Structure 1
Amino acid sequence: MTATIIVGLLIPLLGTMLGSAFVFFMKDEMSARLQKSLLGFASGVMVAASVWSLLIPAMEMKADSGAWSVVPAAVGFLMGIGFLLLIDELTPHLHIGTDKPEGVKSHLSKTAMLTLAVTIHNLPEGMAVGVVFAGAENQVSNISLAAAISVSLGIAIQNIPEGAIISMPMRAAGNSRWKSFVLGSLSGVVEPIGAIAVLLLASFLTPALPYMLAFAAGAMFYVVVEELIPEASSGQHSNLSTIGFAIGFVLMMVLDVVMG
């Protein structure tokens, strides 16, 4: 594993840490307007990354199959949705802005369940980074190292507001600034772990790479549809989340095309 790939896998975690550090500079709880905008932005980045960096390359890898080239992308996408659905049902977690836990019943603290919710969210992002770097390392013609780095940068950019969205409510709930920062940062550790696991797996299962690309896309779409968009659209200021989505989508699209 080259130094460039190692750095690429760690970039998203650095984004989460940077966002979590906002807790040291912001005195009050994050405003609803800002939170809506950031949730929309994160959604836009994840949707664009799923389409341009994962689903389209998955179909291009099987272009010689004609109309059947869409099969690996379709199967992998549905498997990714199903995998996250299963994790969501089995893991006790609590979404920001609600007091009703989801998943199996447990006696975990509110802070622990909030952290688990974000960990579920971050897992598919790590998988996406890992699988595109696997494509670049295996010299898949339509996935360059620059394209893989663009995905890593895009995820890192959307992790900055996401880190703040995690750490600020934890601070408002009574945790110290340092504890809020550490917990917010730790929620992003699953990304490089998931990325490395997928990267190592893909090195042994190169023929399955189109399915793995689509799998990561499906997992990310699940997070967007199940969590981010409902939170961004509920209540007031939903128009700000729409604007944020558009900005995030275009930014990730441009990153992928320019660097790809």
Structure 2
Amino acid sequence: MDFPSLLIPALCGALASPLGGALALWKRPTTLGLSIAVGFAAGALLGAFAFEMLPKAVQAASLPIAVGGFMVGFAFVYALDLFVHRGASAGEKASQYRHVLSVRRRRHARGDEVTVLAGGTSAEELIEGLTIGVAAATDPSLGLIVGTAIVIDNISESMSIGDLIREKGGDHRVRRIMGWTSLIGVALFVSAMAGFFLLRGLSPVALGCLLAAGAGAMFYLTITELVPEAESHQYQQSSAIAMGLGLLVIFTLSNLS
């Protein structure tokens, strides 16, 4: 277990969040820029799951345990998603969409759109930080690759949060953008440290299960949030191109490590 394999990706991931917020403050990202940034992040994360996290989970534990861990992580974040959205969620073109809107109108919101997005992202960072910690405890090279994917993800997510806050307008935009993105970075760093120091003594089977659970949780977030966000801003399928490039970058790093 190599501590720099934890510290470097955890620190870079934590700093990436306020960096993304600062970029959004410096110059509001274009829709094309967002589609490329978010699409590239989605592809990088998908590559990390497919080429590193799940294969290493199977190697450390077994195929059934890795599959079970993935399902648990996926189900946990799915439950968190339903909690944030008051138990009702549907796509805009779903026949159930009107019902979902009526349910949401009858129930008090858990905050404005910015609070829900930034607060939910902070909770996601706890999962991603723990995943970095478990990955570094499992294999130093795995911690670096997973951390690289999360750094890319954090920059794009913070740019999206900054863009949303600027769009909403109001006072204290700088404070809100830097405050939320800094909180996201702190959540990642603290949970990464906790994941490494508290869980590194576990057996390889337990670490493999936790690694698969992290993959399941992050897969859900990638498919439900990053991919739709990237596609909604695409021009000439810019998001798909960026997603493919992101996946190839992680595939290359995986084969070089």
Q: Report the Cα distance in structure 1 between the residues aligned to 2:113 and 2:200, rounded to whole angstroms.
A: 39
Residue 24 of structure 2: aligned partner: 23
Q: Which moved more, 1:242-251 or 1:14-23?
A: 14-23
Residue 156 of structure 2: aligned partner: 161
Residue correspondence of structure 1 range 1-260 to structure 2 within 5 A: 4=4, 5-26=6-27, 29-62=28-61, 69-91=62-84, 105-135=108-138, 143=139, 145-174=140-169, 175-206=172-203, 207-234=205-232, 237=235, 239-258=237-256, 260=257
Contact kept, 8 Å, 1:154 with 1:255, in 2: the verdict is no
TM-score normalized with structure 1 length: 0.80
Opposite residue 188 of structure 1, the aligned amino acid is G
Q: Which moved more, 1:7-16 or 1:114-123?
A: 114-123
Q: Report the Cα distance in structure 2 between the residues aligned to 1:257 and 1:30, rounded to whole angstroms.
A: 33
Opposite residue 170 of structure 1, the aligned amino acid is I
Contact kept, 8 Å, 2:35 with 2:233, in 1: the verdict is no
Q: Report the Cα distance in structure 2 between the residues aligned to 1:18 and 1:236, rounded to whole angstroms.
A: 23
| Gap change, CA 1:124 and 1:243, over 3 Å in 2 | farther
User: 1:174-223: CA deviations, max 9, x gaps?
Assistant: 24224312222322322223323322342242231111111011011100
Measure how far apart 1:239 and its partner are.
0.9
Contact kept, 8 Å, 2:114 with 2:161, in 1: the verdict is no
Percent identity, aligned pairs only?
27
Task: Provide runs of 4+ in structure 1 moved above 6 Å.
Answer: none
Q: Unpaired segments of 5 or more residues in structure 1?
A: 63-68, 136-142
Q: Unpaired segments of 5 or more residues in structure 2?
A: 87-91, 93-100
Q: Report the Cα distance in structure 2 between the residues aligned to 1:107 and 1:220, rounded to whole angstroms.
A: 23
Opposite residue 122 of structure 1, the aligned amino acid is E
Structure 1 vs Structure 2 CA RMSD: 2.7
TM-score normalized with structure 2 length: 0.81
Q: Which moved more, 1:48-57 or 1:73-82?
A: 48-57
Measure how far apart 1:10 and its partner are.
1.9
Contact kept, 8 Å, 1:232 with 1:241, in 2: the verdict is yes
Residue 66 of structure 1: aligned partner: none
Contact kept, 8 Å, 2:13 with 2:147, in 1: the verdict is yes
Q: Which moved more, 1:118-127 or 1:41-50?
A: 118-127
Contact kept, 8 Å, 1:92 with 1:116, in 2: the verdict is no
Q: Report the Cα distance in structure 2 between the residues aligned to 1:159 and 1:236, rounded to whole angstroms.
A: 19
Measure how far apart 1:92 and its partner are.
5.4
User: 1:39-63: CA deviations, max 9, x gaps?
Assistant: 211111111111222100111224x
User: 1:84-109: CA deviations, max 9, x gaps?
Assistant: 0111122359xxxx9x779x844523
Q: Report the Cα distance in structure 2 between the residues aligned to 1:209 and 1:71, rounded to whole angstroms.
A: 14
What secondary structure does 1:237 align onto?
A: coil
